[in-house]
Amino acid sequence: MLEQLKGLRAQALEELNKVGNPRELELWRVRYLGKKSNLTQILRSLAALPLEERREVGAQANEIKKALESSLEEKGRLLQESILTSPRESQRVDITLPGRALPTGRLHPTTQILKEICDIFKNMGFQVIEGPDVEWDYYNFEALNIPQHHPARDMFATFWIDTGMGEKARLLRTHSSPMQIRLMEKERPPIRAIVPGRVYRYEATDATHESMFYQVEGLAVDKGITLADLKGTLFDFCRCLFGEERRVRFRCDYFPFVEPGVEVAISCLACNGTGCRLCGHSGWIEILGAGMVHPDVLTRVDINPKLYSGFAFGMGVERIAMLRYGIDDIRLFYSNDLRFLRQF
């Protein structure tokens, strides 16, 4: 049995020298130091030997076991150092290759359309201004020809912050038109400005309604401005945004702060005006409301309506984006769904 142990040691060390990677080293450990190895079997069979032989064989077997374990540890260390200091050719980094591109953010579709709308009007000579989201009743309603108990207030489902006293009541603005009054209070004609911003409506959300959305309000006041100027401005805007081939239609509509008021519609983008489900088989899709500034509104801000006239218009930005990209649910804009946002 002693001769068998010596042969086992010589064979184990010879094979260990040939081991070249961690996987082979693990196989060697199982073969010579595992539970089913020859060395383990010898140690388990010592009880059957005579006492004197048991002592001699046991001591020799334990010595060989410690030697093999020590050699195993040293070989593992050498293999690890070899891997770290001498990587294989396939693992080398080619520094001339381009790096991996990191995912980048992008503008929200509402922001993209809002920027495009503002750029179109800036090219026409309009300045871009902003106003407060929290507004006084005076600017949101009273100064725009919508006094208390006026039936037109029913058009605006309002988020009231406090009831206050009449004109001093505070609310989340229901449209961006209050900046018309603020602007005309501070500046004298000629005035040309657009007002982009959030507006709020206290109403249930569905595929076409949200409690918060974006509007762009426009205002121009000067001597000699007529409805023809309004039509020319909005014709150019619609064709810049939707394409030169797009037809534009004006129809009468009512807004308390303009007289006359108009509804502006474009030929349906889906059917090109022939009629489909998107446009209710009419061939037209309404995109904004507009009109000539009411003389009472001008008088309230000390602008003489006999010398000056103006036009105003307002549009929903998400509605424009829905038409532009064929989106059928306004709630997608604010659902934070990356699958939707990555498309823009």
pLDDT digits (tens, 9 = 90+) for 300-310: 999 999 999 99
Question: Which of 17-21, 149-153, 339-343 has the lowest average pLDDT?
Answer: 149-153
Q: Peptide bond preceding 190: is omega within 30 degrees of 0, i.e. cis?
A: yes
CA distances to 72, 143, 250, 271, 284 from 265, in Å: 84, 28, 7, 14, 6
Residue 220 has pLDDT above 60, yes or no: yes
Residue 285 has pLDDT above 90, yes or no: no
Q: Rounded to an integer, what distance in angstroms lies between the CA atom of residue 320 and that of residue 18?
A: 74
Q: What is the mean pLDDT of the chain?
A: 86
Model confidence at 343, in pLDDT bands (50, 70, 90)?
A: confident
Verdict on whether the full-model pTM lies above 0.85: no
Model confidence at 87, in pLDDT bands (50, 70, 90)?
A: low
DSSP state of 209: B
Residue-wise DSSP of 258-284: EEEEEEEEEE-TTTTTS--TTTTTSSE
pLDDT at 311 (0 to 100): 96
Buried b (16+ CB within 10 A) or exposed e, 120-151: bbeeeebeebebeeebbbbbbbbbbbbeeeee
Which amino acid is it at 247?
Answer: R
Model confidence at 278, in pLDDT bands (50, 70, 90)?
A: low
pLDDT digits (tens, 9 = 90+) for 54-81: 777 778 778 888 888 888 888 888 888 8
Taking a C-beta distance cutoff of 8 angstroms, is the pair 146, 180 a contact? no
Model confidence at 88, in pLDDT bands (50, 70, 90)?
A: low
